Amino acid sequence: MGLLSDPVRRRGARPPRAAPQTALPVAWLERTMRAVGLEVHTQSFSRKLPFPDETHERYIVSGTNVYGILRAPRAASTESLVLTVPCGSDSTNSQAVGLLLALAAHFRGQIYWAKDIIFLVTEHDLLGTEAWLEAYHDVNVTGMQSSPLQGRAGAIQAAVALELSSDMVTSLDVAVEGLNGQLPNLDLLNLFQTFCQKGGLLCTLQGKLQPQDWTSLDGPLQGLQMLLLMVLRQASGRPHGSHGLFLRYRVEALTLRGINSFRQYKYDLVAVGKALEGMFRKLNHLLERLHQSFFLYLLPAISRFVSIGLYMPAAGFLLLVLGLKISSLHEAGVGLEEPGGSPGPSVPLPPAQGMGLASLVAPLLISQAMGLALYVLPVLGQHVAAQHFPVAEAEAVVLTLLAIYAAGLALPHNTHRVVSTQAPDRGWMALKLVALIYLALQLGCIALTNFSLGFLLAATMVPAAALAKPHGSRTLYAALLVLTSPAATLLGSLFLWRELQEAPLSLAEGWQLFLAALAQGVLEHHTYGALLFPLLSLGLYPCWLLFWNVLFWK
Amino acid sequence: MAAAMPLPLFLLLLLGPGGRCLAEPQRDSLREELVITPLPSGDVAATFQFRTRWDSELQREGGLSVLLKADRLFHTSYHSQAVHIRPVCRNARCTSVSWELRQTLSVVFDAFITGQGKKDWSLFRMFSRTLTEPCPLASESRVYVDITNYNQDNETLEVNPPPTTTYHDVILGTRKTYAIYDLLDTAMINNSRNLNIQLKWKRPPENEFPPVPFLHAQRYVSGYGLQKGELSTLLYNTHPYRAFPVLLLDTVPWYLRLYVHTLTITSKGKDNKPSYIHYQPAQDRLQPHLLEMLIQLPANSVTKVSIQFERALLKWTEYTPDPNHGFYVSPSVLSALVPSMVAAKPVDWEESPLFNSLFPVSDGSNYFMRLYTEPLLVNLPTPDFSMPYNVICLTCTVVAVCYGSFYNLLTRTFHIEEPRTGGLAKRLANLIRRIRGVPPL
């Protein structure tokens, strides 16, 4: 994949891929689950993605989910737990299916179950999981066509997603970040960690081992590394595993990945199965939904957390900078009304408030229109672009995105022909005031729902926004503003993320990854309802354009 | 999933062989009975009934009660106990009355756990006991085994020991055949001194789907979040050509505020208007919603009844100690006269008289069924119950620190203190003068 590949090869219409490469053996799964003693149902789903997905190589997706329900004896089927194994064409996850069937056979013979257990095998990993969840809750959030479910088991209390690459594992990696930065209750993670310790399993977070030495500088540095990785993953708003899609429906969920690396000590699936059995027995004992522990936290290590009361003031202080700037601008604006005036920082000129407000409307409308174009045009216009240029649809979308983004940079030079030249010289202060208020409101709202995204954007955009003014060295401010624009933040965080994972990228690779991330962001917004793309395009990009307008104010 | 399977769970046989309801009931009679019915899914349902007609209850020993062992009975999928007491007339003119006590225990054994996956079963495997002797006080002690499906071909299964008598009847719209084992029959017990009824499949049954009952229902809550939701009930009519009406009774607690204008009933994609609706709105904290509808279910269809609701915020003291568990919604009750397909007597038009064609074919195969859907668990928005503690701590701290400091500053008075001069004698004299109440030197 890639825009730097041979364009000759991509000329011509690409036929949509309708047939999956490795289909799920539905009949065999049904028979086996029935033989184990579960109540088996299937569900079919189909979806046409807005444009072909290059990373997973799919466009028109249709598949079947298979799930078996273990009914608890002498219970009323009011609550249930879910063990899900997502199967996709890129990761067949067949070992996990085997473990699921073995666990089902073991669980079937026990009499202590008070909640039903649903064993779910999904096709096309996350798409199948979303289809199943939407059909289970009888909603239609993402436009997926899924057939209605025949068998249900009451309200789902908790879910565990399992991904295994081989039958021997050296460590179990746990993923907690979900869609739009939602996190499960910390109790679920503590439960997993307890059983890892009991079984002597090695458990990792973010793919890294736990720092052992907290007294010297190494431990805290490693912890900081893992904290930054979690912040970056949470800010991206992607569901890092099937569990991320369960969180929207307020079902606490985790993803466990078995990693087989080059370590000497390996565990077989019996150890993993024992840990899972322990987790399910503990979840079976729950009288209430998990609510006692934190829902909002950051993890420097698997056994340490930072609660919201400790990290929220950081975002608060960044927004305080904006607040102070707003009040100082307001003071300067108000002070100019009086003829004497408080000693302002610039040349006093008669302000024209009415004229100032009218001249604000044009930049605001144009910026918001650019944001709307950035949101709507790439997906709508992909076919038109693919016809006129020798690119595939996915590349057309990405290129349109970049083109509209760069076109916004040329705006100030054009809007000044639209806006009347009677705009006063101090009008830029009013525009900056409005832009700062807009930015503060947006960042405040984002920080409340997804703290990592809010903090990351605040840390990059607040200094540039506070410093933007048309006087002084314009090129320096312009460079600063471009470097802190949302797209540049995305690019920088990609590089930082790979750097923290100790797999640094070269520039070309980074650019490719950036383009893939753009395509994935748009796709995930349409398929799962991820909010990063609309937030950046409809909210932050117009705001950033306003600051660009302020910088190039004539 | 509730199902209208033809379970003879509450089968009452007042007519034993040789007993008529008009004759005077025996004064000291204990009848005990065990009915074993294999269910279509492979599980085995066993129903014990003990009926005494005494003025007082006597102890039972032996007989069927040896099978009632708690450790096996509580390894089952389902169990239900009932006690019925009613007066019965002793003679035709009802001048004297005695009391009848009937105790019923129904259990459903999980074929997977008891039979280790095979569909064979035996009394020993189910109860870990066999029947050794009849109860000495019992006038009647019988075991009935449902062998309806297996009557035709003896090659598929084998019932051990082979039954001597059988009993035929129409139960719940289907013809059933029961094999009878009479414990009071000396020939039955004498042979081996214990009776272990076994059923073995000679040819393993194909892994086919169990037959679906004509009427079954499902209920669930759609939507997510703590603000609103939708109650959906799915009614399945799997009869190939008969449509029949169903009376649906819903009792929804008051804290789920139903929006009756969103009530929709759809069958096969089209709107289905009920013939009769009775709705009684809820009053907060007084009475729940009552919704009763008569819905015609078309043949071979799925009907979806859905109504949207909003979750109410309860008062502080109305929350249970475990509010995050959720609140229960009682099951809805479906009452229907379900038609049966097979029990209709085939009319031989050549043999019967001609006037038979003047009268409508009496089906006689409807049976009344009351069905309960599953109960539901819904979460209501719960407040943070630790907030009163937090608020009390914070306000007390604020009051103590701030108000206390201000009060101190405002009301503190300052005295000027003279520096003490003089030696020890003067101090001692001052001390004595202070005690006396005289101003010091």
The shortest CB-CB distance from B222 to any of A78, A137, A291 is to A137
Closest Cβ opposite residue A77 in set B223, B325, B374: B374
| Average pLDDT for A319-348 | 71
Q: How far apart are CA A366 and CA A363, in angstroms?
A: 5
Would the pLDDT of B191 be above 70? no
Between residues A426 and A432, the one the model is more confident about: A432
Q: How confident is the model at residue B12 (pLDDT cuts 50, 70, 90)?
A: very low
In this prediction, residue A422 carries a pLDDT of: 52
Whether residue A378 has pLDDT greater than 80:
yes
Distances (CA, A) of A521 to A59, A377, A409, A537, B209: 16, 15, 22, 11, 45
Under the banding of pLDDT at 50, 70 and 90, the label for residue A416 is low
Length of chain A: 554
On the question of pLDDT at B5 being above 50, the answer is no
Of residues A428 and B372, the one with the higher pLDDT is B372
Determine the Cα–Cα distance for residues A424 and A16; give it in Å rounded to an integer: 56
Contact A78 B376 (CB under 8 A): yes
Residue spans of beta strands (DSSP E) within A18-165: 39-53, 58-70, 79-87, 116-123, 145-146, 155-164
What does the pLDDT read at residue B114?
72
CATH topology of domain A26-208+237-286: Aminopeptidase (3.40.630)
pLDDT tens sequence across B73-111: 888 888 888 999 888 888 888 888 888 888 888 989 887
**Beta-bridge partners for A146:** A45
Q: How many CB atoms lie within 10 A of CB A304?
A: 16
Task: Kindly tell me the sign of the dihedral angle through the C-alpha atoms of B110, B112, B117, B123.
Answer: negative
Mean of per-residue pLDDT scores for chain B: 80
Q: Is the pLDDT of residue A469 over 70?
A: yes
Query: What angle, rounded to 10 degrees, do the helices at A125-136 and A507-528 form?
Result: 20
Place of tokens 């249970």: B320
CA distances from A194 to A96, A189, A201, A221 (A): 22, 9, 10, 24
| Lowest-pLDDT range of A10-14, A126-130, B159-163 | A10-14
Helices A541-551, A393-409: crossing angle, 10 deg rounding: 30
When pLDDT is averaged across residues A273-282 and rounded to a whole number, the result is: 95
Angle at A328 between CA A324 and CA A329, to 5 degrees: 120
The DSSP bridge partners found for residue B146 are: B178
Mutate to test the interface with B, among A34, A40, A78 (most CBs of B within 10 A): A78
The answer to whether the CB atoms of B113 and A249 lie below 8 A apart is no
Q: How many CB atoms within 10 Å of residue A193?
A: 18
pLDDT score of B95: 87
Q: Tokens at residue A177, please?
A: 């970040």
- pLDDT value at residue A332: 85
Is a pLDDT exceeding 50 seen at residue A14? Answer: no
Q: Which two tokens stand for residue B49?
A: 């009934």
Domain spans, chain A? 26-208+237-286, 310-334+357-552
Paired tokens of A101 = 């069937």
Spatial separation of the C-alpha atoms in residues B439 and B441, rounded to whole Å: 7
Mean pLDDT of B134-157: 73
Highest mean pLDDT among A262-266, B87-91, B149-153, B399-403: B399-403
Element (H or E) spanning A363, and its range?
helix A353-380
ipTM of the complex: 0.86
Mean pLDDT of B11-31: 41
Give the minimum alpha-carbon distance from B75 to chain A in angstroms, rounded to a whole number.
Answer: 7
Q: Which residues in chain A are contacts of B77 at CB distance < 8 A?
A: 71, 73-74
Q: Which residues of A have a CB under 8 Å from any CB of B?
A: 31, 34-35, 37, 71, 73-74, 76-79, 108-109, 111, 137-139, 151-152, 154-155, 248-250, 287-289, 291
In chain B, residues 184-223 whose CB comes closer than 8 Å to chain A: 207, 218, 220-223
CA–CA gap between residue A83 and residue A120 (Å, rounded): 6
Higher pLDDT, A155 or B193: A155
Number of A/B CB contacts below 8 angstroms equals: 73
Interchain CB contact of B225 with A (< 8 Å)? yes
CB-nearest to B324 from A35, A77, A289 is A289
Mean pLDDT value of segment B290-309: 95
Distances (CA, A) of A526 to A18, A515, A523, B344: 19, 17, 5, 56
Region of poorest pLDDT, from A276-280, A498-502, B133-137? B133-137
* CA–CA–CA angle A70, A73, A77 (5° rounding): 65
pLDDT value, residue B33: 83
Quote the minimal CA–CA distance from A489 to chain B in Å.
33
Segment A11-31 mean pLDDT: 66
- A256 in Cβ contact with A161 (< 8 Å): yes
A66 vs A425, higher pLDDT: A66
pLDDT at B57 over 70: no
Is A289 within 8 Å of B325 when comparing Cβ atoms? yes
Is 50 exceeded by the pLDDT of residue A491?
A: yes
* Chain B residues with beta carbon closer than 8 angstroms to that of A71: 77
Residues near B368 by Cβ (< 8 Å), separated by ≥ 6? B335, B336, B337, B338
Percent over 90 (pLDDT), chain A: 66
* Site from A111, A182, A251, A290 to mutate, B interface, most B CB atoms within 10 angstroms: A111
Residue type, B288: P
- Could you give the C-alpha distances from A148 to A70, A132, A133, in angstroms and in order? 20, 9, 11
Q: Minimum mean pLDDT among A74-78, A187-191, A439-443: which range?
A: A74-78
Give the model's pLDDT for residue B8: 33
Distances (CA, A) of A296 to A116, A310, A441, A478, B384: 29, 11, 21, 36, 15
Average pLDDT, chain A: 87
Which pairs from B149-152 meet CB under 8 Å and 24+ separation? B151/B177
Between A131 and A356, whose confidence is greater? A131
The answer to whether residues B28 and B79 touch, using CB atoms and an 8 Å cutoff, is no
Contacts of B307 in chain A (CB under 8 A): none
pLDDT-derived band at A111 (thresholds 50, 70, 90) equals confident
Report yes or no: A258 and A272 within 8 Å, Cβ to Cβ.
yes
Query: What are the E-state strand segments in A88-150?
Result: 116-123, 145-146
Tell me the per-residue pLDDT of A234-259, one tens digit each, with 9 for 90 and over: 999 999 999 999 999 999 999 999 99
Residue A151, pLDDT above cutoff 60:
yes
Contact A69, A105 (CB under 8 A): no
Percent of chain A with pLDDT over 70: 90
DSSP conformational letter for B419: P
The dihedral over CA atoms of A67, A72, A76, A82, expressed in degrees to the nearest 10, equals -40
Closest-CA residue of B relative to A72 is B77
Q: Which residues contact B243 (CB under 8 A, 6 or more apart)?
A: B237, B296, B297, B298, B299
Q: Which of B21, B25, B193 is nearest to B96 (CA)?
A: B25
Smallest Cα–Cα separation from B365: which of B336, B340, B347?
Answer: B340
Residue B122, exposed/middle/buried by CB under 10 A (0-12, 13-18, 19+)? middle
Instruction: State both tokens at B247.
Output: 């009376």
Question: Which pLDDT value is given to residue B29?
Answer: 72
Q: Are A211 and A301 in contact (CB under 8 A)?
A: yes
Which has more pLDDT, B29 or A460?
A460
C-alpha A509/C-alpha A4 separation (Å) is 11
**B232 confidence band (pLDDT: 50, 70, 90):** very high
Percentage of chain B beyond pLDDT 70 is 79
User: How high is the pLDDT of residue A553?
Assistant: 80
For residue B291, pLDDT over 90 is answered with yes
CATH class of B30-201: mainly beta
Q: Which two tokens stand for residue A426?
A: 């101090």
Reduced to 3 states, what is the DSSP secondary structure of residue A312? helix
- Integer-rounded Cα Rg, in Å, for chain B is 37
Assigned token pair, A153? 């088991």
Do residues A21 and A89 lie in contact, with contact meaning Cβ atoms separated by under 8 Å? yes
Residue B278's φ and ψ, nearest 5 degrees, are: -130, 125
Amino acid (one-letter) located at A472: G
**Cβ A73–B218 below 8 Å, yes or no?**
no
* Predicted local confidence at residue B10, as pLDDT: 30
* pLDDT confidence bin for A28, thresholds 50/70/90: very high
Q: Out of A52-61, B72-81, B403-412, which region has the weakest mean confidence (pLDDT)?
A: B72-81
Tell how strand A171-175 and strand A203-205 pair up. Answer: parallel
- φ, ψ at A231 (rounded to 5°): -65, -45
Find the closest chain A residue to B224 by CA distance: A249
Under 8 Å between Cβ of B305 and B265: yes
Reply yes or no on whether the pLDDT at A459 is more than 60: yes
A56: closest CA among A83, A86, A88?
A88
Topology annotation, domain B215-378: Immunoglobulin-like (2.60.40)
**Cα separation, A406 vs B251, whole angstroms:** 61
Residue of B nearest to A109 (CA): B113
Min distance B325 CA to chain A CA atoms (Å):
4
Please indicate if any CB of chain A lies within 8 Å of the CB of B240.
no
CA dist., res. A352 & res. A356, Å (int) = 6
B30-201 and B215-378 agree in CATH topology: yes
How far apart are alpha carbons B109 and B107 in whole angstroms? 6
Can you tell me the distance from the alpha carbon of A253 to that of A243, in angstroms, rounded to the nearest whole number? Answer: 5
| B121 or A290, greater pLDDT | A290
pLDDT reported for residue A490: 94
Residue A468 has pLDDT above 80, yes or no: yes
- Kindly tell me the sign of the dihedral angle through the C-alpha atoms of B421, B423, B426, B427: positive
What pLDDT is stored for residue B260 in this prediction? 94
Q: Could you give the angle at which helices A427-449 and A541-551 cross, rounded to 10 degrees?
A: 150
Between A31-40, A86-95, A213-222, A370-379, the lowest mean confidence (pLDDT) is in: A86-95
- Confidence check: pLDDT of A45 > 50: yes
Domain boundaries, chain B: 30-201, 215-378
- For residues A68 and A58, the answer to whether their CB atoms sit within 8 Å is no
Minimal Cβ distance to B322: which of A78, A154, A287: A287
